[in-house]
């Protein structure tokens, strides 16, 4: 029964994400032409805001009617991420100086939604609202808000800084590659993957050393590390590029040391041998040190 319920949650998240993504039909109602230079101004104007508000109200009402309790909480989060992704697409394909922020909106919303969806596929028993990682930590929220504030201030004061398309493209490549690596790691690990560091070994827990794990000891962290920095390169945020790099490096250094204590406890010599052969994949992070004496 539990498995069926969790499988249902995954399906609900897909439906709700697509409902939120449906916001892209708003500009298409008015035209089927390829010129979208008017879209951004329309959606940020009074009529556009009304259209978006009505769409959100209708979709939320629909979700409230068909889903109750925990299922509604899943649906509304997935719908919000789909809506954000849709708005990001609209901005990305509009002729506006906010194009790169549209890329960012798509990248951020897809990252969080795919964390939930992939978890639903590989390890439904661990699936929860926290799998969206929307409430990851206070520090994570502060970092995100700081990046939005920096982007806005610099766009108003030094707008030419935000038009370095080649730099934003580098950031986009970092984001795509980083997220692809992380999701590949999750899919390779399967039921062994968990967003929370495990202190007790489950019967199904095995040491994964194939696939992307043959190249990086912690590929999911490597992917997340470069994804997070890539979002700021995409936004051309010099302050947050430095801040995200330092904060992410420190976070993953501590996280890897904590996790490897458990892995050594779980797998003993097998993990120590694997540790000797394969690096963490993160710069200047070697993991937990074991005294040879």
pLDDT tens for the chain, 293 residues long, are: 444 555 789 999 999 999 999 988 876 665 554 555 555 556 666 777 787 888 899 999 999 999 999 999 999 999 999 999 999 998 898 878 899 999 999 999 999 999 999 999 999 988 999 999 998 889 999 999 999 999 999 999 999 999 999 999 999 999 999 999 999 999 999 989 988 887 777 777 899 999 999 999 999 999 999 999 999 999 999 999 999 999 999 999 999 999 999 999 999 999 999 999 999 999 999 999 876 54
- Selection from 128, 127, 91 nearest residue 109 by Cα: 91
Say whether 288 sits in a helix, a strand or coil: coil
Query: What residues have CB less than 8 Å from 172, skipping those under 6 apart?
Result: 103, 107, 230, 234
Helix or strand run (H / E) with residue 199 = none
Task: Please give the model's pTM, rounded to 2 decimal places.
Answer: 0.91
Query: In degrees, to the nearest 5, what angle opens at C-alpha 162 toward C-alphas 93 and 244?
Result: 105
Q: d(Cα 48, Cα 42) in Å, to the nearest integer? A: 5
Q: Quick one: pLDDT at residue 143?
A: 96
Question: How many angstroms from the chain centroid is the CA of residue 250?
Answer: 19
Contact 51, 28 (CB under 8 A): no
Q: Quick one: pLDDT at residue 90?
A: 86
Burial grade of 209 (CB within 10 A; 0-12, 13-18, 19 or more): middle
Query: What residues have CB less than 8 Å from 165, skipping those under 6 apart?
Result: 100
- Mind listing the pLDDT tens digit for each residue in 125-140? 889 999 999 988 899 9
- Selection from 264, 274, 97, 105 nearest residue 197 by Cα: 264
């Amino acid at each position: 029964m539990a498995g069926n319920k969790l499988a249902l949650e995954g399906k609900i998240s897909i439906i709700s994400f697509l409902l939120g993504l449906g916001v892209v039909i708003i500009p298409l109602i008015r035209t089927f032409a390829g010129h979208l230079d008017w879209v951004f101004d329309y959606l940020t104007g009074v009529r556009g805001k009304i259209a978006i508000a009505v769409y959100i109200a209708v979709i939320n009402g629909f979700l409230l009617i068909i889903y109750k309790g925990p299922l509604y909480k899943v649906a509304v989060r997935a719908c919000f991420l789909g809506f954000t992704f849709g708005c990001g697409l609209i901005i990305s394909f509009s002729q506006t100086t906010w194009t790169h922020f549209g890329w960012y909106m798509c990248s951020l919303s897809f990252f969080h939604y795919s964390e939930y969806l992939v978890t639903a596929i590989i390890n439904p028993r661990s699936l929860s609202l926290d799998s969206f990682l929307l409430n990851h930590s206070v520090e994570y929220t502060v970092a995100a808000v700081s990046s939005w504030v920096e982007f806005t201030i610099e766009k108003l004061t030094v707008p030419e800084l935000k038009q370095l398309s080649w730099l934003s493209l580098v950031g986009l490549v970092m984001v795509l590659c980083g997220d692809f690596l992380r999701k590949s790691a999750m899919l390779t690990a399967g039921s062994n993957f968990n967003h929370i560091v495990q202190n007790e070994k489950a019967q199904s827990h095995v040491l994964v050393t194939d696939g992307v794990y043959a190249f990086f000891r912690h590929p999911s962290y490597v992917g997340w590390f470069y994804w997070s920095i890539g979002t700021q390169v995409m936004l051309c945020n010099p302050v947050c590029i430095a801040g995200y790099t330092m904060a992410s490096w420190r976070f993953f250094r501590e996280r890897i040391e904590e996790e490897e204590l458990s892995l050594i406890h779980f797998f003993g010599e097998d993990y120590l041998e694997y540790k000797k052969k394969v690096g963490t994949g993160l710069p200047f992070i070697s993991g937990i040190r074991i005294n040879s004496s």
